[in-house]
Structure 1
């Protein structure tokens, strides 16, 4: 008999996220948002924070990426078998979507920490006999389909998730919405908290928004306007069956369209961005709201290479549960830091050889750039003046790229194609490789194995940028535009290097491409490469500073302690 009912014995924080990245075996994530959610859950288990997470099952994943002979991304379903990894719970709930009854069930996965803390994760699923064929596919693809498909998924996540928690017997203290995808849970809470009509002076006043607000926390993750889901009310009226009067819904979610971010903000007691700068940018985007900032982090043990896990274990035994101990990294001899890094580099290069048939030189400075492919992240910025890059780097630089573009993002897919064209045209002068199907497993090899982590977004569109934190905990310095977390973590020449001028103001239309390109090439040629090749002790000092001044603080243990004391305690 399952012991899942042990999770019902205390009040919990319900953490809702459209995507959650726990392991590459469970491909229910697309990028940083989902991996951040997974790291949050793992840290809640480490710290024994009473959390329950809710997400979608995404039976066919996000997608598997291959790069064809013409250098173009091709997608295929990433089908996995939940029966082998999860436990189906004995409860179902019913939703009305487009006037049809849709059953939703939950699969349970337990995230267990060495500290013996455990967090249940519920994966919601509509692939149930009795549901119409089109409804059985609602939870198939992460971010798949059209607007109607997305809205149906968000109904399942928000309303279905809230109902299943109640049906299973969970007692919820707070509902934490990780991005606006789960915002419809507020409508379910509104319906539950409705006061009897005879006790109020009109129908609108019967909806107890104050009670809902007291239960909700909302984290926004993007200053890119396209990243905030909006649905035409005509579509909402056709698909979503709810009791909330249209005028009240428009008052909470926006007059023109249902803006999921606005809905969440209007019905949350605590709203935050994911870095100090992102909090300021979000405040400018949504004036009238009080928007706090809790900087994202990474789960220390998950993202530290085995070579550094062993090294930290010898010198800083409690580092995984007390990452603040990394501030003592200077107690580790330089030679052992370098040896651990060389091990991680060899591990990556072996994977590249096996996957792509390309042999990289372990003695050459190797730069990594891998993340979700979107044009504002400017993955090809380093190629702006290709002749200059070749002059600087021939025989002295290697580059490793990775990342998926959304199947509907044509400009993002074209960016991959351009990078592949440059890789092909320069193969005799600078060795470069694009690793296909970038996921958690590939990232765990790639990030620790490069010498320098490159990040070149258009400022201020990088909300946080957790890949740079994953680099830092492995002693890989950042070379990044001053945006997101790097504004807080950067000390020039100490923890890494900046690219271009600081971010000024909160406009999302800033562009310093010419300055960024010039600074990138100049620092690479005159500062970074000489340090790497001519002053190994100086380079290792920067590696140690990345660990002791960045990784000790920019982790989910620090982040979650702030959520507990600032967001969950009221």
Structure 2
């Protein structure tokens, strides 16, 4: 390909979406071969890019080409998980021939630009930045090695690369966005680039910048030392006095989210509940922009099982059951390969699969081990359960939970833990699940999207009432909703209440319905499949961003 400037999007733009938008994200989960994502944030941006393409939106993505990705989740000799950093090669990415220079930590750093063409995976065009060049010293090269590097200075360098580098690239491309969308605050240096570009007029930045926040508690939002950020070049050459004035920081405490809220024209939470939580959480701060909500969604064309939807639409329940059995068998081959266990497609299968983090409580169902064993070992109305997901490599508590489940499951024929939870395995988990278990501690889940794609594959959500489930879930119509616990009780008491409700519902409602009332079960499956597309398909989300974020910000 001969890459020509100024850049033009190579597909017809829908007249409803003419406004030029640059979408900055640290991660994009586009397709299994392109491993530049870690979890939910990437799954969201991937679906957004797919729907932007399908709708003909005038949007491009800006990201980083991670040389070693997030990490490959593999196994040690005892089956517990290990972390492998393996170089990734992508022949389907195209050379742009563009290289340019930015400054990080008072050193010039060369940046190379690769291009994901829309036709490759059916997405809006995406430009990926890399510092892995021989002209750079080793430290500069490592900036793009590991997504969410554990070293603070490296992460700050990554944010400068994404924000400053991405904004500079847009100028080089001659592609002049009317809106710069930060998917989380990682790209915040772009705001300071724009501040300098538009002659240090704060309002000119706010007119162009929009911000999506994903974290529903202050402790989860990144804070760094202002002095360190300044030394590393986070503020695009502004003097210390100017940088403090623009970011309204008088001490050494720099909250990325607060500053993003002050420099954006509008921001959003990622569910109705998260919007409410965010407005309350950030209300003590002055000069922040309005915070609305646009509930996350996922791309139906990529995620849904077409044959299952055809059976549901025809009302042919025999065809529905037969197709689901085929989907489960495909998933069980992975279980057999990884764990040496042969699962039965006629047995109720529960799947818990997502990022391992303390508040998501992967092992909650095992709180009473004997009761758990009774559930999975029963002769009549048996249950199979599978766990999968990647903990952050340095979250040793989460890694410990994962490994404890691996060791526990060795002796249980109908219980298994899988490694390698990426897009391909995620799809298989949803194909194989009858019940999609989701039990975060309320109200810690901003949105949660795995249950959306599970529903698109005929799995019924069994969930605490948090995030998107507050907008979707109808108990015993399309989901099983765990009753709310006392949020003011101590954490251990909340966990006990949620566990008790969960087990009672499993034993007395879910398992009996699956085996004794198959028609009622299948009616719930069909309701779930149909209703999830009514609002939680990402074309709605991508449209709402134009209507509520991009145009009002102008």
TM-score, normalized by the shorter chain, greater than 0.5: yes
Equivalent in the alignment of 2:181: 176
Q: Is the 8 A contact 1:217 1:270 kept in 2?
A: yes
Counterpart secondary structure, 2:144: coil
Equivalent of 1:379, from 339, 362, 365? 362
Equivalent in the alignment of 2:327: 344
Superposed CA deviations along residues 168-195 of structure 1, whole A, max 9, x for unmatched, are 111211000000111110000001011x
Counterpart secondary structure, 1:123: strand
Equivalent in the alignment of 1:544: 526
Q: Which whole-Å CA distance do the structure 1 matches of 2:50 and 2:469 have between them?
A: 24
Q: Which whole-Å CA distance do the structure 1 matches of 2:490 and 2:469 have between them?
A: 17
Counterpart secondary structure, 1:142: coil
By how many angstroms is 1:136 displaced?
1.3
Alignment RMSD, CA only? Answer: 2.2
Q: Is the 8 A contact 1:253 1:259 kept in 2?
A: no
Equivalent in the alignment of 2:479: 496
- Mean alpha-carbon deviation: is it higher for 264-273 or for 40-49? 264-273
Q: Which whole-Å CA distance do the structure 2 matches of 1:3 and 1:270 have between them?
A: 34
Equivalent of 1:6, from 5, 8, 33? 8
Q: 1:164 to 1:225 in 2, by over 3 A?
A: same
By how many angstroms is 1:511 displaced?
6.5
By how many angstroms is 1:11 displaced?
5.5
Equivalent in the alignment of 1:318: none
Q: 1:231 to 1:253 in 2, by over 3 A?
A: farther
Q: Is the 8 A contact 2:68 2:86 kept in 1?
A: yes
1:406 aligns with 2:392: yes
1:244 aligns with 2:217: no
Equivalent of 2:157, from 131, 146, 152? 152
Q: Which whole-Å CA distance do the structure 1 matches of 2:486 and 2:143 have between them?
A: 41
Counterpart secondary structure, 1:542: helix
Equivalent in the alignment of 1:515: 497
Residues 260-279 of structure 1: pairs in structure 2 closer than 5 A: 260-279=256-275
Q: Which whole-Å CA distance do the structure 1 matches of 2:308 and 2:530 have between them?
A: 14
Equivalent of 1:481, from 464, 467, 473? 464
Q: Which whole-Å CA distance do the structure 1 matches of 2:157 and 2:299 have between them?
A: 31
Q: Is the 8 A contact 2:325 2:346 kept in 1?
A: no
Q: Is the 8 A contact 2:100 2:110 kept in 1?
A: yes
TM-score, normalised to structure 2, is: 0.92
Equivalent in the alignment of 2:86: 78
Equivalent in the alignment of 1:164: 169
Extract unaligned runs of 5+ from structure 2.
none
Q: 1:253 to 1:26 in 2, by over 3 A?
A: farther
Q: 1:217 to 1:503 in 2, by over 3 A?
A: farther
Residues 32-43 of structure 1: pairs in structure 2 closer than 5 A: 32-43=40-51
Counterpart secondary structure, 2:143: coil
Equivalent in the alignment of 1:123: 128
Equivalent in the alignment of 1:291: 291
Q: 1:25 to 1:486 in 2, by over 3 A?
A: same
Q: Is the 8 A contact 2:150 2:394 kept in 1?
A: no
Q: Is the 8 A contact 2:113 2:129 kept in 1?
A: yes
Residues 67-466 of structure 1: pairs in structure 2 closer than 5 A: 67-82=75-90, 84-112=91-119, 119-194=124-199, 207-240=200-233, 242-251=236-245, 252=247, 254=249, 255-287=251-283, 288=285, 289=288, 290-304=290-304, 308-312=305-309, 314=310, 329=312, 331-395=314-378, 396-425=382-411, 427=412, 431-466=414-449
Counterpart secondary structure, 2:178: strand
Counterpart secondary structure, 1:112: helix
Q: Is the 8 A contact 1:460 1:510 kept in 2?
A: no
Q: 1:209 to 1:163 in 2, by over 3 A?
A: same
- Mean alpha-carbon deviation: is it higher for 363-372 or for 415-424? 415-424
TM-score, normalised to structure 1, is: 0.89
Counterpart secondary structure, 1:6: coil
